[in-house]
Structure 1
Amino acid sequence: MITSSAHRMIEDWRLGFVATADAYGAPNLSPKGTFVVHDSKTIGFAEIRSPDTLKNIALCPQVEISFVDILTRRAVLIGGTARSVARDSDEFARLFPTYEELWPDLASSFGSIVLVDVTACRPTCSPAYDNGATASDLRRNWMQRVQDINSRHEQSEVTPC
């Protein structure tokens, strides 16, 4: 079951790192930035340019997804079984409006929607908490780091992917 704190983290950050394995057991880790919580047992993402992830899910549907609050250094690991919902299906048509509303500029690129039936939801956090750091301390420090990085990038040309 997806906890309320995990639900909040997924909706706040939307970016999850999806781990799959190929037919030989080799891992594939792929960031997906279009996550949605559908209900207490189901999350999903809009698939865009993810041929390896889709191929691996078709072979072995077990996935693990890591969501990280980069400011507080708290995370949640979601385990589950994934399946791809084809763009030409009735189920896709039912799911699509939620994703289209959140990412209208990307909607035409959605090849499918991948749904994950959640079987595990485990929180993790930085060892900094073991040394007495608080979420506020970490948020303040990492916000400063983000601002420093932003300032540095504003001064140089960043090459798009």
Structure 2
Amino acid sequence: MTDPKTGPVIDDDMRMIVEDARLSFVATVCPDGSPNLSPKGSMRVRDDEHIAFMDIASPGTMANLAHDNRIEINSIDFVRRRGYRFKGTAEFREPGDEVYEWLHSWLLDLNGPGYPAHRAVLVHVDRVLPVLSPAYTFGGADERTLSQAWARTYGLPGAQA
């Protein structure tokens, strides 16, 4: 849903970063108050206010969210050296739910039949903060130059010399 005064919580650039990152990290709070960080390869933007991921093999993350549904998701494009921190609250969506079926279908298209998917986690995003490399803020780098340099560093195809 888009707020006519402020616009969408999740904009097109944020969507692109989540899609291109291919791996996001989820922070939750353990019952003892300690942090838990877990990688998620199934992160997708659902709409202007929600991000979703699948519980594939995440018993610790799921237990933490059942105890305390506060969550932060970090999606960083490692070549662009920028991304976003999405803060919000999570809720579980079980098989048969529209969000589960949407995400499960995408997961099976990506990984083939029989890929495990216990339930979906739908995150209502309340706040988004940018994450930028210091090269942007202190070094005056532009995205194109920085992306080319890091693509060369990682030996990615199409990196210009």
Q: TM-score range by the shorter chain?
A: 0.7 to 0.9
CA contact (8 A) 2:52 2:120 kept: yes
Shift of 1:78: 0.3
- The CA deviation string for residues 68-96 of structure 1, in whole angstroms up to 9 with x for no partner, is 11012111000110122223x43434553
1:116 aligns with: 123
Q: Write the distance in 2 (CA, Å) between the matches of 1:22 and 1:86.
A: 22
In 2, the alpha carbon distance for the partners of 1:135 and 1:90 equals 39
When the two structures are superposed, what TM-score results if normalisation uses the length of structure 2?
A: 0.83
Contact residue 14 and residue 36 of structure 1 kept, 8 A: no
TM normalised by structure 1 equals: 0.83
Does 2:45 align with 1:42? Answer: no
Q: Which runs of 5+ in 2 are unaligned?
A: 1-8, 157-161
How far the C-alpha of 1:100 sits from its partner, in A, is 2.7
Dislocated runs of 4+, deviation >3 Å = none
- Distance in 1 (CA, whole Å) between partners of 2:113 and 2:139 is 42
CA-based RMSD of the aligned residues comes to 1.8
Distance, in Å, in 2 between the alignment partners of 1:124 and 1:26 is 23
Which of 2, 5, 30 is equivalent to 2:13? 5
Q: 2:72 aligns with which of 44, 64, 89?
A: 64
Distance 1:100 1:131 in 2: 42
| Aligned: 1:52 with 2:60 | yes
**Which blocks of at least 5 consecutive residues in structure 1 are unaligned?**
149-161
CA apart distance, 1:117: 0.7
Higher helix share: 1
Q: Helix, strand or coil for the counterpart of 2:79?
A: coil
- CA distance in 1 between partners of 2:103 and 2:75 (Å): 22
Task: State whether residues 42 and 117 of structure 1, in contact with CA within 8 Å, keep that contact through their aligned partners in structure 2.
Answer: yes
Q: Distance in 1 between matches of 2:21 and 2:81?
A: 12
Contact kept, 8 Å, 1:21 with 1:60, in 2: the verdict is: yes
